[in-house]
């Protein structure tokens, strides 16, 4: 009986060893990519992880970490994708795909930007990431793309400032509203919201009897934005 058990044990070990010997990083990676094409995202991620675990020194291990992030991104699991891109960047800082990974990480936050009346944490995080790409990789296509996304992010922050300022204005908290509108004019001069802030300020000054300031704003708007009806209520 013992002899039979020993033979069975040896047979199992041999079978496992044979299976392990035929298991190549290329084969597992192929399984992962096929699952991804079939939109079987959980299986794809597990297979890419297996490449990393079984063949950590193989070049496909690095690529598999990037692919894990890509699968999460495709599945619109942006928090998980951002973490996976960040792990790729930390583990393989010399990889040629680092600029791309940083760009996709920034898009993870960009794709979670909310409306102006909501929390803008994702917007600020996206700005941080896009600015770093522009600084660290200025000569890459990712820097060019980041400029465009950055412009939208800054506009969204400015829109939130105007939203809050208008809330103060309607609540007759004029000093708080004025500070918000002036903040937009000072720090968001490069995005298309200046006319909104100026028009709101004009109405604020008219409402509070600050005639001189109102006329100054009116002249400014007539010069820079002649197509806007200044006396139109916000």
State the DSSP string of 13-43.
HHHHHHHHHH--HHHHHHHHHHHHHTT-HHH
Q: In which band, very low, low, confident or very high, does the pLDDT at 110 lie, cut at 50, 70 and 90?
A: very high
Average pLDDT over residues 105-114: 98
Coarse DSSP helix, strand, coil percentages of the chain, rounded to the nearest 5 percent? 75, 0, 25
Give the pLDDT confidence of 27-59 residue by residue, as tens digits: 999 999 999 999 999 999 999 999 999 999 999
Contacts of 228-231 with C-beta under 8 Å, sequence gap 24+, read 228/195, 228/199, 230/199, 230/202
Q: What is the mean pLDDT of the segment spanning 160-178? A: 96
Lowest mean pLDDT among 40-54, 151-165, 217-231: 217-231
Per the model's pLDDT, the better-predicted residue between 144 and 230 turns out to be: 144
If 0-12 CB within 10 Å is exposed, 13-18 middle and 19+ buried, where does residue 108 land?
buried
Distance CA 33, CA 31 (A): 6
170: its two tokens: 């309607």
Predicted pLDDT at 12: 38
Nearest to 61 by CA among 86, 24, 102, 98: 24
pTM of the full structure? 0.84
3-state secondary structure at position 95: coil
| Rounded-to-integer distance, Cα 165 and Cα 175, Å | 10
Tokens standing for 68? Answer: 């894990």
Residue 225: its pLDDT value, please? 86
Is the pLDDT assigned to residue 5 strictly greater than 60? no
The confidence band for 7, taking pLDDT boundaries of 50, 70 and 90, is: very low
User: What does each C-alpha distance from 139 to 110, 134, 144 come to in angstroms?
Assistant: 22, 8, 8
In the predicted model, what is the mean pLDDT of residues 155-168?
A: 97
| Most confident of the ranges 102-116, 187-201, 213-227 | 102-116
For residues 23 and 53, the answer to whether their CB atoms sit within 8 Å is no
Is residue 14 pLDDT above 50, yes or no? no
d(CA 156, CA 150): 10
Q: Which of 109, 40, 51 is nearest to 81 (CA)?
A: 109
Say how far apart CA 170 and CA 176 lie, in whole Å. Answer: 11
- Mean pLDDT, the chain, integer: 90
The yes-or-no verdict on residue 9 having pLDDT over 80 is no
Residue 224's pLDDT band (cuts 50, 70, 90):
confident
């Amino acid at each position: 009986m013992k002899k039979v058990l020993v033979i069975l044990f040896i047979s199992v070990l041999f079978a496992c060893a044979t299976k392990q010997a035929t298991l190549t990083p290329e084969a597992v990676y192929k399984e992962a990519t096929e699952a991804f094409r079939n939109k079987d995202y959980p299986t794809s991620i597990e297979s890419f992880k297996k490449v990393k675990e079984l063949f950590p020194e193989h070049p496909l291990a690095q690529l598999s970490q990037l692919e894990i992030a890509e699968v999460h991104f495709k599945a619109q699991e942006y928090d998980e994708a951002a973490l996976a891109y960040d792990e790729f960047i930390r583990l393989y800082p010399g990889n040629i795909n680092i600029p791309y990974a940083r760009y996709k990480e920034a898009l993870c936050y960009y794709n979670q930007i909310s409306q102006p009346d909501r929390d803008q944490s994702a917007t600020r995080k996206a700005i941080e990431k896009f600015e770093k790409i522009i600084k660290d990789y200025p000569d890459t296509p990712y820097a060019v793309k980041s400029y465009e996304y950055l412009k939208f992010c800054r506009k969204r922050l400015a829109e939130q400032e105007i939203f809050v300022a208008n809330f103060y204005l309607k609540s007759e908290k004029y000093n708080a509203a004025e500070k918000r509108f002036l903040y937009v004019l000072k720090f968001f001069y490069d995005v298309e919201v200046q006319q909104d802030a100026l028009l709101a300020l004009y109405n604020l000054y008219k409402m509070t009897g600050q005639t001189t300031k109102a006329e100054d704003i009116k002249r400014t708007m007539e010069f820079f934005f002649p197509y806007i009806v200044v006396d139109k209520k916000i």
